[in-house]
Amino acid sequence: MNKALLHNQGFIGFSATLASFLFWGIIPIYWEKLFDIPPTLLTSYRVIFSFLFVLLAAALLGQLKELLQIAKDKSAILLLTACGIFIGLNWWFFISAIATAHVLESSLGYYINPLMNAVIGVIFFREYLSALQKLAAFLMLVGVCYMALNLGEVPIYGLALASTFAIYGALHKLVKVNVMHGMFFETLALLLPAILSFFIIHERNNFFEETLAAKSLIILAGPITILPLIGYAMGVKRLRLITVGVLQYSSPTVTFLLGIFFFKEPFSFHLFVVFFFIWLGVILYAADGIIRSRTSV
């Protein structure tokens, strides 16, 4: 009975985590439908409707008292405000990357993200990099440098996405609240700037003047932001971290394929070389995690 229960929990965790990563991988298709809205305003919509969705969910689940309890913890609120700033920046960079035809570069950012997490762990949490992780980091650095030297551009969107999400994750390690409660205070911290942005840019794009289809898509920004995060949180509680670490590469892989086959972004030889070094680094990083998980058993 216990084995069956554990197997069932593992299946639920695996399914929820994989579904969340695959959803994040295909999400550029959703944002592409709203290309006519400036990225800053679109990010503001995402903040506003994510906040409203979380508030509604908390009210329906009877968790408003828990939110009030968290609000009394000044250190938690300070950390969640910082989390909100970095996830807001991450959302803006991602939407801007899609809007400016940098889908492939956005996938590169999320390939790099695990190594960025490791670097932050070394600097701030006294963790260490194994020999394979160091080699993986070096290969990824070679890929980024090759892009800068041979394509004449630094992958700004990729590096920004990787670093903002890594910092967001590191800050979350310091505060003990669940995903939904965290997102309430993170979006609350961004709510005033989002509303101000809405009124500043509304002359070009007024929500109330949008078509019904566009309004529906904008309102959906709330649930499509929050629900995958809840699914991811469900998975993390039920799976080994190495499993989550391997599964997470499904997201940038799907985005990478979308960039080539759906968005028709050019994939030159030089860009292939960049991703070749990135993929080598990813393979080594994942292999290191698998090896260490087996030796620790």
Amino acid at 32: E
* pLDDT by residue, tens only, the chain of 297 residues: 455 544 566 778 788 889 999 999 999 999 999 988 889 999 999 999 999 999 999 999 999 999 999 999 999 999 999 999 999 999 999 999 999 999 999 999 999 887 788 788 888 877 777 888 889 888 988 988 888 888 778 899 999 999 999 899 888 888 888 888 999 999 999 999 998 887 777 655 677 777 888 899 999 999 999 999 888 877 777 776 667 777 888 999 999 999 999 999 999 899 999 999 999 988 888 888 778 767 655
Cα separation, 32 vs 27, in Å, equals 9
Q: How many CA atoms lie within 13 A of 226 on its CB side?
A: 28
Question: Which residue shows structure tokens 């000044």?
Answer: 74
Q: How many domains does the chain have?
A: 1
188 sits in which H/E element: helix 179-201
User: So what's the pLDDT on residue 1?
Assistant: 45
Retrieve residue 187's tokens.
């979006």
Dihedral sign of CA atoms 96, 18, 116, 269 in order: negative
pLDDT tens figures, 159-218: 999 999 989 988 888 888 888 899 999 999 999 999 888 777 765 567 777 788 889 999
pLDDT at 257: 95
Looking from the CA of 120 toward its CB, the CA atoms found within 13 Å total 18
End-to-end CA distance of the chain: 23
CA distance 50 to 187: 7
Radius of gyration of the chain (CA): 20
Q: Using alpha carbons only, give the angle 195, 179, 278 rounded to the nearest 5 degrees.
A: 90
Indicate if the alpha-carbon torsion angle 139, 145, 150, 152 is positive or negative: positive
Count of positions (residues) in the chain:
297
- Three-state DSSP at 37 gives coil
Domain that holds residue 48: 2-295
Rounded-to-5 percentages of helix, strand, coil across the chain = 80, 0, 20
